Every structure is written in C-alpha cells, then in structure tokens.
Amino acid sequence: MQLTLHVTNQCNLNCKYCFVKRGPERMSREIAFAAVKLGMENTNTSGLLFYGGEPLLEKELIYDVVDYAKSISTKTGHNFYYKITTNGVLLDEEFLKFANDVNMAIGLSCDGPAQDYCRSSIDGTGSLAVLEEKISLLLAHHPFAMGLSVVDSATVDRASEIVEYLFKKGFRYIHMGVNYSKTAPWTEERLLALEMEYKKIAEMYINWTRREDKFYFSSFDMKILSHLKGEKYNIDRSRMNMNQPSVAPDGIIYAMSKHLNNPVFAIGDVVSGINKKKHKAIYKKGAIPTEPCRSCAIKSRCNYAYDNLASSGLDIINDVTPVQCVHERLITPIADYVAQTLFKEQNAMFTQKHYNDLYPFMSLLEDID
Amino acid sequence: MRKLELSVCPIKVYNTPEIPTFEDDNSAMLKKIPKRWKKNAKVIAGLGFIGALALSSVVRSGNHTFPQEIVHNLGHTQGSYRGFSQENLLVRLHTGGMGSSFYMVHLTEQEAFGIIRARLEAAGLNFDATPPPRIVSDPTLKEYNLSFSELLFMGRPDGIDFDLFDAQNGIAVTYVRSTHRSFLLDERHIARLIEEIFAELDEEIIVGAFHNPGRIAGRGAPLPRLLRRPFPWETAAARPILVRQLINQADKFIAILQSEGILEHFPDVDVIINGVLFNHGEYPLIINDQKMVPALELFEALGMDTVVSDNGLRIAITATRNNVEIWVTSNGSIAVNPNVNRNRFSDWPEDIPMLVHNDIVLAPLQFVADFVGATIEWNEDDRILNITY
C-alpha cells in the first residue's frame, strides 16, 4: 500500500486550484509513525508519499518518519519507498541530498510561464523567480524528478509553452493535469483553445521522439497506454488508486486525496486501520460507468468514466462532467494521431518505449553514470 | 469556428488507431532499436545479456503483462526506476516503486505447497486420490457476481482445477501459482475469490485455496533469475513470517473442516484452570495438538490483565502478566511484546497455530499456558487438562 501523508494543511503558496483546505493542522509524529506501521500490513513493500499543504514546511517530520521507517526496515526487512510532491519553494541542498540518500522520488509543481498567475505567493506576488533557481538545484541532484503542471481555463493558451518550458528546463517526466474546479469555468472557446494547445504539444512530442529524446508526457502516454491495454487500462488504474489512500493530519484516512476531510470518503484512521468493506464499497461505486457513458465507444479509454467519484449528500456518485467528457473527446484522437504517426514511421524509440517489456531496464542502464 | 457540444455525449463510432495492442505479438518490431542505444556500451551489453537469457528460456519473450506499467505508471506517479546508483540497482529492481514489476522469491512454489500439504496431512487429510478434473466454467463464475475483470485477471478464464484431493472426506485443494497472478490480482486475492466461489456453490466437496505469500511486489512475467533472487538477509528476515502465514492458511482451513464435522473430530478434553472448569467455546478445535480456545477468555482465566480495543474495524486483545505481553487481533496478527517489535514471531514457534474462526480470536491453550509460565498437568484417563498459574 502507498499512503499519502498530508503532513500539514499549511502552505506557502496560494495556488488557484488547490483542493486541500488551507488550515493550521500539522501531522504529529505519533500519527505519522502509526501510518507507517499501518502501511506495512499484509505486504513486504510499502510507500509513503509526503504531501500537503506544502510538505517541506514539515521537513523535520519527514526526516523523522523516514528514519523511523528505516529502523523498521533494518529490524524486519520490510521495504519502504518514498515520494514527495512539493511546490519547491523550500527545496535546499540539505533536503535534496537527503532525498538522494533515501531514493525519494520528487515531483515539483510548476506551471512555468503560467506560474505567477496560478501559483502566487500568499501575498499575491509571483513565485516563478524563486522557483527557477530551485528547479536548477533540483535537477542537478535529481535529473529524473517529475514536473507537475496544471492547465487552467485562464492560462490554457499557454499550455504548450508550459510543457516546452519544463522540457527545456530539463524535466523529462512531465505531468499535466486540468483544473476542473468551479473556480475555473471552461467554455467552448477555452476548450477549443486547449485542443489547439494539445495539437502543438503533439507536434513537440513527435519531434522529440524523432530526435530520440527520452521523456514522458502523462496526458499522451497514458492515453496511448489506454489503447494498448484496452479494457485493462481503467481496471488497473482503479486498483492502483484504491491502493493509495490518503492520511489527513489528524490521522483520519480517506479513500482519495481530492476528498480529504469529506466524511463520506473517510475509511478509517491510522490507529484502528482501514475499514476494508467501506473502502471497497466506495470504489465499487466507480467500477461501472454510469449512463450515458456506458454506450460510449471510448469509455475504456476515458479517465473519468470510472472512479470519478464525488459525494452528493451522504451518497457517492460516479459522474462525468460535461467538461471532462469534452476533454476526453478532444485529447484521445490527438494522442492516437501521435502514436499512429510514430508507429507508421517505425520509430524505434516509440516502439521500444511503449511495447518493450524491458524498456525500463534499458532506460536504467542508460541512466547509470 | 468548430462547435463543441458542452455536454456528456457518448461517442457512437470511434476510429481505433491502427497500431497494435498488447494482445498482439509485437516481438518483430522490437528488433529495431534506437540509435542512442547503439551508441551506449552499457545498453548494448544489457541487450546481449537479455538476449542470452532469452535464448536459455529464462526470460519469456513476447509477454506484455508488465512492462508498460513501469514505463507509464512509474513516470506517472514519480516512481522509482530512475536515478539509481549502480550499487543499489538490484535492490531497487527488487523493491521497486508503486507498481513495481520485479518480485523476489523467498519461498519457492514447491516449498510453499509442501508446507501447506504437510500441515493438512498432519491434521488427518489423505491426498492419495487423483484430483477430479473439476472445471468451473466461465458462465458459472459469472453467476457469482464476479466482474469481468476479476474473471479475466484470475488468469484462469477456462476454470479452476485442483491439485490435491481427499476422496474419503471430499476435500479438494487448489494451489494458486504465481503464474496465475496479474498486476491486478495477486495470488492471495485469487485464492480468496476461489474460496468465495466454492462457498457459494452447493457442492459435495469442500475446496480450500492456498497461495505462496513468499513473493512480493510483482506481476506475472518472470524476470531473469538473477534479478529476482533476494539477498540472503532479506530472505532471513522474511522467511519466518511467510512460513507462519502459510501455516495460518492451512490452519484456518482445518478449523473450518473440524467445525463443520467434515474432518474427523479429535476427542475433546476438559480444561480446568486454577480449579475452575474453563468454558472453551463451541467447537473442539485441536490443531497440531493445540486446543484452540477463545483468546480473551483464556487470558482472563489465566489471571492476565487484558485490554480489549474494539473500534469497529479490528479487535485487538492485549494480555499482560509479569513480564509477558501477548497481543492478538481479530485479523489474525500476533505479537509477543508488541511494543518491542510488532512483527516478530520468533517467540511464537511457526507450527503453533493462531487463528480467527467464526470471528472469534482463538489461541492455542497449551502453548499460551506454557508461555506465561503456568503448570500444566494432563490426565489421560479422564482427558482433563489441569492448569495452575
């Protein structure tokens, strides 16, 4: 199991689309240690993802938790892996060396040219200037860190610039999400702008692959994967999501991060453990697409037809919103165009990356100094 | 300008891209490698190494059950195949990140199956008979509310076969091998599913499904032996726990057989603790010569201080007296002096049972009594166990 530890609800930025409700709550050592033990149950390998708020506001806690986990590893042989998602403002040499030592994977939230608009400081000033230095520092220590960006309806015209910015900065693993919150109303015009941006990114993707650059772009690579895997794609995603519950600072466990503090999605606490029946029942709600998606030709490739859960009173519903539906209808053919173009060219980088069982191993060999 | 329908609008027809899926045989197109690989001596050496293994049939080729997970999902979730030093390469391959595809083997299939079989035979089962060619067909499985995915990923779409059969008692055993596992369902889940299916079926035989817990973090396709061989210290740490888990699987099944009267009952005994007849529950469960009795009642009868923590999810019983602390839970966990090390079983021998039956935590009477330092006297003639503490 991988537990997402929301070590604090405090944050030093004021991102437009953050789903975590800002507050003074901080996770205690006792809660964090109990979570470490809980994650160990029934498995020999477990993961800890440090999340927030801004997790680096709790660096000392992170150090302690990892030390504690390491001591357990020494005694029992249990394996832990660590990840962190940070806005990067507090990254420093000391933490990056520590992260290297314990093989902690780092994801840095960054919107590049849209950063100052979307991810401003609490006082309203931009954060890109600070972040640029941190990105250089991060990639010097962790060349395989992931760049995490979000497309907002207000900044959609810059989506391709964001991807290009991250790539030029040196990120080779780029994730791009879409802000679907009500704070960012999407219109037809904005969605068409997004389509245009995806097409620009598609050309970049094709060119980079032709150049044999090694990179990962979540929006397209996952969509291509959905074709390659067929029905299994969403089943796998669902299982994966189910295996990654979130722990709030007070120790309450939620089925998914985006519903933190929503009692409907509470499935236990770190002392008592997880109520597996409830956990399973929640995900069962998302196991079958609702009407009218059941008849959709791309439902098995849709990121929202399954497990797109929300609460309605005390009920849990699985509904695709109109914007999400349009998004999937836009992006799927573009990703397929990318795949088909590179496949027809018999591009070896493309086929190895997507079809070779041992690509990760070969990739590793390349990365060894 | 093109118009978009801003509503949830299913697509009726979609032109599927003309590129192969994982269902297809893609081995031919993988012969072409990127130029950057050709220039990299380490990659070339790696390709040679893999080629040699493939030739020796250690690696399955054309099996697309796991790798894309790594490429995509590790990337997607900031997984951990990147940025390794040479020293920890193998360790990281073993332990992986989320969605790791590399598993190590602490117990071989033969060992695990052997432990299960020996435990069941010790309880009185006789597996000399040839297992019936039982096939549960796909439609039958579907009647039991298994989803398509569950059927598909059980790795046995054509049905379920048996490995051992006790003809006299009508008991069949199916052992879920690692080849049945997938990314979605590991052996444990598959075993549970099989038991659920047969529990629902009104059959004359009783089916037990077992699995090897001695593999971790992985999916179906085996990797080169070198990569999945655990380090000795890892095995040393894991093995006792895994053996206990195997024995626990067998004991749970034995308890079911005994309580349902399918397996021959052992003659029961009367238990007297500190001069008082001990009410030891509904069934005369005796596993590996240990009389299984409700744990809480036993601890209290022995005069131990007990704390029961019932939070609706799991009942944990902590019993202490003098310097002994025993901690058991309704999900079958045991610990001796749990504050020292919760997963330590070294003070609790692996062949001593500990199980949850009919939602009651059962503890081995003689072992616990002996463990806390009580005096045990056995009267064979009257079949009375006299315990004083």
Cβ A47–B98 below 8 Å, yes or no?
yes
Q: pLDDT above 70 covers what percent of chain B?
A: 59
More confident residue, B135 or B198: B198
A173 touches chain B (CB under 8 A): yes
- Contact residues, A window 111-140, toward B, CB-based 8 Å cutoff: none
B232 touches chain A (CB under 8 A): no
Tell me, yes or no, if the pTM score tops 0.80.
Answer: no
pLDDT > 50? residue B73: no
- For B101-119, the pLDDT digits (tens) are 344 567 778 888 999 999 9
Q: What residues of chain A score a pLDDT lower than 50?
A: none
pLDDT > 70? residue B31: yes
Cβ B70–A359 below 8 Å, yes or no?
yes
pLDDT > 70? residue B269: yes
A271 touches chain B (CB under 8 A): yes
Q: What own/partner pairs with CB < 8 Å and gap ≥ 24 does B190-197 have?
A: B190/B154, B190/B155, B190/B156, B193/B146, B193/B150, B193/B154, B194/B154, B194/B160, B196/B144, B197/B136, B197/B141, B197/B144, B197/B146, B197/B160
Q: Report pLDDT for B229.
A: 55
A281 touches chain B (CB under 8 A): no
Domains of chain A: residue spans and CATH: 2-367 (3.20.20.70)
Mean pLDDT of chain B: 69
- For B275-316, the pLDDT digits (tens) are 888 876 666 678 888 888 888 888 888 888 888 876 555 677
Q: Report pLDDT for B52.
A: 59
Amino acid identity of residue A169, one-letter, is: K
Q: pLDDT above 90 covers what percent of chain B?
A: 3
Report the distance separating Cα B349 and Cα B345, nearest Å.
7
Question: Does the CA dihedral B366-B367-B368-B369 come out positive or negative?
Answer: positive
Q: Report pLDDT for B103.
A: 46
Report the distance separating Cα A349 and Cα A359, nearest Å.
10
Q: Report pLDDT for B295.
A: 87
Report the distance separating Cα B75 and Cα B67, nearest Å.
12
Question: What are the extents of the domains in chain B?
Answer: 18-64, 109-259, 270-388
Cβ A231–B148 below 8 Å, yes or no?
yes
- For A24-45, the pLDDT digits (tens) are 889 998 889 999 999 888 777 8
Separation in Å, CA B18 to CA A133, A224, A228, A342, A343? 44, 12, 11, 11, 9
pLDDT > 50? residue B95: no
- The lowest-confidence range among B57-71, B142-156, B270-284 is B57-71
More confident residue, B49 or A29: A29
pLDDT > 90? residue B389: no
pLDDT > 60? residue B84: no
Q: Which of A79-93, B92-106, B350-364 has the highest mean pLDDT?
A: A79-93
Cβ B64–A299 below 8 Å, yes or no?
no
Structure tokens at B294: 């409700």
B233 touches chain A (CB under 8 A): yes
Report the distance separating Cα B387 and Cα B283, nearest Å.
20
Q: Report pLDDT for B257.
A: 86
- For B1-19, the pLDDT digits (tens) are 667 778 888 888 888 888 8
Q: Report pLDDT for A232.
A: 81
Cβ B71–A360 below 8 Å, yes or no?
yes
Angle of CA points A127, A133, B79, to nearest 5°: 90
More confident residue, B149 or A280: A280
This complex has an ipTM of 0.84
